[in-house]
Amino acid sequence: MRRKFYITTPIYYVNDVPHIGTAYCTIAADIIARYHRLLGEDVFFLTGTDENAIKVARAAQEHGKHPQEFVDELAQQFQDVWKAFNISYDDFIRTTQQRHRMAVVKFIEQITRHSPDVIYPSYYEGWYCVFEETFYTDEEIVDGKCPECGRQVQLVREPAFYFRLSSFSEKLLRFYEEHPEFLAPDFRGHEVISFVRSGLKDVAITRVSKWGIPFPISHPESEGHMVVYVWFDALVNYLSGIGYGSDEPEDVEKFNRYWPADLHLVGKDIYTRFHCTMWPAMLIAAGLELPRCVFGHGFWNIEGEKMSKSKGNVIEPVSLANEIVSRTGCTFDRAVDAIRYFLFREVSFGLDGDFQRANLYARFNSDLANDLGNLVQRVLVMVRRFIGGKVPPLSDACGELRGLLSELVPTITQAMDGYEFSQALSAIWEVVRSSNRFIERRAPWQLSKEGRRQELQDVLRELLDVLSSLAIMLSPFMPSTAFEIARQMGACHLFDGWRWEHILRFDKLPDGLSTSEPQVLFPKGEIVHAGASQSAQEGEVRKAACEGETTMGAQYITIDEFKRLDLRAVKVVHAEQIQGADKLLKLEVDMGTERRTVVAGIAQEFAPEELIGKTLVLVANLTPAKIRGVISQGMILAAGEDKPLALVTLDREVPPGTKIS
């Protein structure tokens, strides 16, 4: 039987349109779902919208709309954006749908049957943040404000039903211990365990409100209109989205087939408390199996700041794609794939990231236009020009790139299995870059000129095979580009049949297949300036890369100008000489939340070995520049004018990433 794989995203509040943060989680789930489909598994991918929240009703009111009309419009907008971003979900659950409402009622009844005293009536008195939909204790609030969003909290006392979460600590701790794969990535697991160890408190699971799912049990001391607390309701979507709550045979079959979830993907904001504590406790109380894994990913900031409506820095995915189209001249689909690529290449999945337009365009130009786009274009142009646009026969003669692929595929597969997308993409790009170097070395134009036909055919066949393998490996990340590569090779009719296991099969393209007209995938775009020097951007390392623009004897700058510099303490984890450049070292530095590659012109004064482990100072917001083929993501500071005399270090240890001001 085919292995099943059930994956979910959080369901998003429809108080606002989708942004790059919600898109991030949804794209991640899409990458994983597509990868598991390529493995041949029976995948079910669920996403949806959380519509019963009081903040949703409030947003509707602000827009002068009835809540239902408002949520209908926004749920549609979410679906439109996901469509534009090629999100291959199997179902979209909305918590105002009847199927979900029925499931919540059934779930509560199931808990009361299976664990009779777990839900009990009482009174709730506590600090409530309407915006976060969360109650806080006296210790948690900060100066009368919500610890999450800083808004004023209200003291609320009302009849309520409680969920006896406090009685689940031991069971949860035992479960985590017996299922270490449940909490991912590892470092988030430690946080969950200490949260549960510190003691769990019972949770109020009703609210007095008109908007929401009516609580199915009546409170002995209240006739008020009680609805299910939005989190208790929302979590049940993972069940209702696959048929729980319905007696229809196909729903029952679907639920039995897919539950438990193999992966709940959520942001770190809703990881510990809701998905790793409350949700498994609710399932234990109902006597249902627990999910296999909850993965908590990091958050994106925007150009160094928290993304927020009040700061006006919220990025909407479709607007960003349109901006890329107008700046680079690529198609909308390529722009979408550029965003999908960037988000998962730039930052290790699980950690936080800082979204910088300059980095997006730098990667667009170097990784997508120069490396990938160029490779596809060159191969297909040469196939047309030198061998009549037909796939030449497979022969045993060559194998250099196939050998490289065989070496790298296990690494790529392992990275995909471990949700290490940045590592997977970096290994895939080794294939892309090696293929470009292979073209330079084997110079098919020369082979053609010298009439060495067999060699020419073998070289081009090998390159075509690599392109077809790249199409498979790229398809989870950049589905429309992967398809376009296959289409330009004349293989779009074969594409759907290709699986992950075919990456290393080199007979995917039939001999004699006619390739199509090559078209540019990623035209080189405009580079965005992030307040850094033009020369660095053009790929020239400054004399010593460490020199910078000094102000000695020059004009004064204001404190605000100085503040534009993002200076960070970074720890060198790797250093090596750049081949063919005797002044340049390539450094890999740990910046706390991410690793950066930096090119520094210090090779004549400092040996790579003496740098490893040192804490240096990095100008972290310098526009990335490509220097000798390496993208340098910042500049190391040093003393000295013509050459670096000493590196800037700190007088005591601080954690990597610490800001210097």
Q: 240 or 328, CB closer to ligand MSP?
A: 240
How large is the C-alpha radius of gyration of the chain? 28
What element of type H or E holds 410? helix 400-417
In this complex, which beta carbon is closest to ligand MSP, that of residue 50 or of residue 337? 50
Q: Which residues of 334-350 are buried (b: 16+ CB within 10 A; e: fewer)?
A: bbbbbbbbbbbbbbbbb
Considering the complex, what minimum distance in angstroms separates the CB of residue 164 from ligand MSP? 21
Which residues, including other chains, have CB under 8 Å from residue 648's CB and lie 6 or more apart? 616, 617, 636, 637, 638, 639
- In sign, the C-alpha dihedral spanning 368, 372, 375, 381 is negative
Closer of 235 and 360 to ligand MSP (Cβ): 235
Please state the φ and ψ torsions of residue 183, each to the nearest 5 degrees: -100, 115
Q: Nearest distance from residue 279's CB to ligand MSP, in Å?
A: 8
Is residue 33 within 8 A of residue 45, CB to CB? The reply is yes
235 versus 482: smaller Cβ distance to ligand MSP: 235
| Closer residue to ligand MSP in complex, CB, 235/427 | 235
Q: What is the 3-state secondary structure (H, E, C) of 244-297?
A: CCCCCHHHHHHHHHHCCCCEEEEEHHHHHHHHHHHHHHHHHHHCCCCCCCEEEE
How far is the C-alpha of 81 from the C-alpha of 76, rounded, in Å?
9
Residue 92 or 299: the one with the smaller Cβ distance to ligand MSP is: 299
- Minimum separation from the CB atom of position 16 to ligand MSP (A): 8
Q: How far is the CB of 46 from ligand MSP (least distance, A)?
A: 11
> Is 261 or 546 the residue whose CB approaches ligand MSP more closely?
261
| Backbone φ, ψ for residue 162 (5° rounding) | -115, 155
Min. distance of Cβ 266 from ligand MSP in angstroms?
5
Shortest Å distance, C-beta 175 to ligand MSP: 19
Cα separation values, 562 from 236, 525, 567, Å: 50, 29, 10
Helix (H, G, I), strand (E, B) or coil at 445: helix
Overall size of the chain counted in residues: 661
User: For ligand MSP, which is the closer residue by CB, 295 or 483?
Assistant: 295
- 180-186: long-range contacts, CB 8 A cutoff, minimum separation 24: 181/292, 181/293, 182/276, 182/290, 182/291, 182/292, 182/293, 182/294, 183/276, 183/293, 183/294, 184/293, 184/294, 184/295, 184/296, 184/419, 185/295, 185/296, 185/350, 185/419
Question: Which of 25/226 has CB closer to ligand MSP?
Answer: 25
Q: Which is nearer to ligand MSP, 290 or 394 (CB)?
A: 290
Q: Minimum distance from CB of 50 to ligand MSP (Å)? A: 3
As measured in angstroms, the least distance from the Cβ of 17 to ligand MSP is: 11
Close Cβ partners of 583 (under 8 Å, ≥ 6 residues apart): 541, 601, 602, 603, 604
Tell me the three state secondary structure of residue 169.
helix
8 membership: H or E segment, kind and range: strand 4-13
Q: Which residues form the interface with ligand MSP (CB under 6 A)?
A: 10-13, 21-22, 24-25, 50, 234-235, 237, 266-267, 269-270, 299-300, 307
> For residues 24 and 35, which CB has a smaller minimum distance to ligand MSP in the complex?
24
d(CA 123, CA 28): 41
CA atoms within a 13 Å half-sphere pointing along the CA-CB vector of 358: 23
In the complex, the smallest distance separating the C-beta of residue 531 from ligand MSP, rounded to whole angstroms, is 23
In angstroms, give the least distance from the CB of 412 to ligand MSP: 25
Which residue has the CB atom at the shortest distance from ligand MSP?
21
- Of the pair 171, 273, the CB lying nearest ligand MSP is at 273
Taking the complex as a whole, the smallest distance from the CB of residue 429 to ligand MSP amounts, in Å, to 24
CB of residue 253 to ligand MSP, shortest distance in Å: 24
Edge-to-edge order in the sheet of strand 154-163: 134-136, 119-129, 154-163, 203-204
